[in-house]
Amino acid sequence: MKALVRILAGCLAVIAMISCTGNAPGPMAGASNATAPPTDYRQLATQAGRVYALDPGVSRIRIYAFRGGRVASAGHNHVLTANVFTGFAYLPAAKLADARFDLSFPLDKLVVDDPAMRKDAGPAFATELDAAAIKGTREHMLGLDNLDAAHFPDVSIHCVSVAGELPHAVATVAVTLHGQMRQQLVPLVVALDAARLRINGAFALRQSDFGITPYSIMGGLLTVQDEVAIEFELIGVPASFDAPR
pLDDT per residue of the chain (245 residues) written in tens, 0 to 9: 333 333 333 333 333 333 333 333 333 334 444 444 566 898 898 888 999 999 999 999 999 999 888 878 778 899 999 999 999 999 998 889 999 999 999 999 999 999 999 999 999 998 999 999 999 889 988 998 889 999 999 999 999 999 999 999 999 999 999 999 999 999 999 999 878 999 999 999 999 999 998 877 777 688 889 999 999 999 999 998 875 54
What domains are there in the chain, each with its CATH number?
2-22+36-238 (2.40.128.110)
pLDDT in tens, 176-218: 999 999 999 999 999 998 789 999 999 999 999 999 988 777 7
Q: Which of 182, 178, 111 is nearest to 150 (CA)?
A: 178
pLDDT at 170 (0 to 100): 97
| pTM for this predicted structure | 0.81
Residue 167 three-state SS? coil
Question: How far from 54 is each of 22, 175, 184, 187, CA to CA, in Å?
Answer: 36, 18, 21, 18
- In the chain, helix, strand, coil percent, each to 5? 25, 40, 35
- Number of CB atoms found within 10 A of residue 147's CB: 22
